[in-house]
């Protein structure tokens, strides 16, 4: 049960219907035949807009005549429960989403976040969510030469984590294979009126699962690291301070599968009291937990409280 959202001319949906064997990197890659697959292809725009502005009439008509295919219009990818029931689909896909207009990175992050959260609402147990992004948008090494600073990307990992989703795979979008199936990139991202296709060559497909439904053997290889600095007062003869800090930060995780890297980055001695302050940098990463700022701050605050009780209380 595959749901496609945000279709324009419906050429991707029609290409997917044409697939009869595995398609690398896409939702059909685990199927050997389309006979067991049902596809619901949707657009935000009305049927008349799709036919006129998007020139999708022939594709929509072909899909309407195809078995196991359903076409719906006026479906908001960020509010899927308005149209579908919870747990309806095994795969939910959005190919190259984009808000109309250039240079609206914050709004595109909101679009991506809204889609991932909404897709999770209609996802069946153990289902997968997929989103294909143009080169540089996702913020992982799969972007290759188009890789941007993470802060200048759509931050795919972060948007997923905030929705309780773990990004378990990122694969190159097989542009040539899909174009051979007559998929055509067609978009209105410059403006609602002006048509301009997306750069799909060297794009990347990002795959998410619910954090607690991670398939066996699946890990997040593109997890974002979170850095937190912690300054504490300690005794001058406390040579083992770093290992103590490491233990307390690990204890604050309460068994969570999170990796820590702790290192001292600064040292300061207060002139009047002669007290010694050391600053440590703690880096959090996880391949199995969808880390968010809120989660990391919770771990960090707990660890700081532990350290304050142990080290500051031991000061002479």
Residues 91/209, Cβ–Cβ less than 8 Å: no
Those residues with Cβ within 8 angstroms of residue 311's Cβ, 6 or more apart along the chain or in another chain: 232, 233, 234, 238, 241, 244
pLDDT at res. 260: 95
* CA dist list (Å): 52 to 8, 10, 46, 194, 281: 11, 13, 10, 13, 57
Domain boundaries, the chain: 2-213, 226-314
Please give the CATH number for the structural domain made up of 2-213: 3.40.50.150
For the domain made up of 226-314, give the CATH fold: Alpha-Beta Plaits (3.30.70)
At 245 the pLDDT is 83
Residue 200, CA distances (Å) to 174, 175, 284 in order: 9, 6, 33
Query: Is 226-314 in the same CATH topology as 2-213?
Result: no
Specify the higher pLDDT residue, 102 or 170: 170
Minimum mean pLDDT range among 95-104, 125-134, 285-294: 95-104
Taking only the tens place, the pLDDT of each residue in 278-311 is: 888 999 999 999 999 999 999 999 998 887 755 5
* pLDDT for the residue 24: 33
What pLDDT, on the 0 to 100 scale, is given for residue 31?
40
Task: Name the band, by pLDDT with cuts 50, 70 and 90, for residue 36.
Answer: confident
């Amino acid at each position: 049960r595959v749901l496609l959202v945000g279709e324009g001319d419906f050429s991707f949906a029609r290409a997917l219907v044409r697939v009869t064997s595995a398609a690398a990197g896409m939702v059909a890659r685990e199927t050997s035949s389309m006979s067991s697959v049902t596809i619901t292809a949707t657009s935000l725009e009305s049927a008349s807009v799709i036919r006129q502005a998007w020139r999708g009439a022939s594709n929509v008509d072909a899909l309407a005549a195809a078995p196991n295919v359903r076409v719906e219009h006026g479906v908001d990818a960020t509010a899927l429960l308005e149209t579908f029931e919870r747990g309806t689909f095994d795969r939910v896909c959005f190919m190259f989403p984009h808000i109309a207009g250039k240079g609206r990175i914050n709004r595109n992050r909101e679009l991506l976040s809204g889609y991932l959260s909404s897709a999770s609402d209609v996802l069946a147990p153990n289902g997968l969510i997929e989103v294909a992004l143009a080169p540089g948008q996702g913020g992982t090494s799969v972007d290759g030469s188009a890789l941007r600073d993470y802060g200048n990307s759509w931050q795919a990992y972060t948007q997923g984590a905030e929705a309780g989703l773990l990004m378990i795979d990122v694969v190159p979008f097989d542009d040539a294979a899909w174009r051979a199936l007559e998929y055509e990139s067609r978009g209105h991202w410059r403006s609602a009126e002006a048509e301009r296709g997306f750069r799909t060559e060297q794009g990347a497909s990002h795959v998410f699962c619910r954090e607690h439904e991670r398939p066996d053997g699946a890990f997040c290889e593109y997890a974002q690291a979170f850095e937190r600095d912690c300054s504490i007062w300690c005794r001058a003869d406390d040579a083992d301070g770093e290992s103590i800090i490491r233990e307390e930060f690990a204890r604050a995780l309460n068994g969570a599968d999170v990796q820590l890297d702790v290192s001292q980055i600064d040292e300061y001695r207060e002139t009047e009291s002669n007290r010694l302050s050391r600053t440590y940098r703690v880096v959090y990463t996880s391949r199995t937990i969808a880390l968010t700022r809120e989660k990391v701050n919770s771990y960090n605050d707990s660890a700081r409280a532990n350290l304050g009780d142990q080290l500051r209380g031991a000061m002479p």
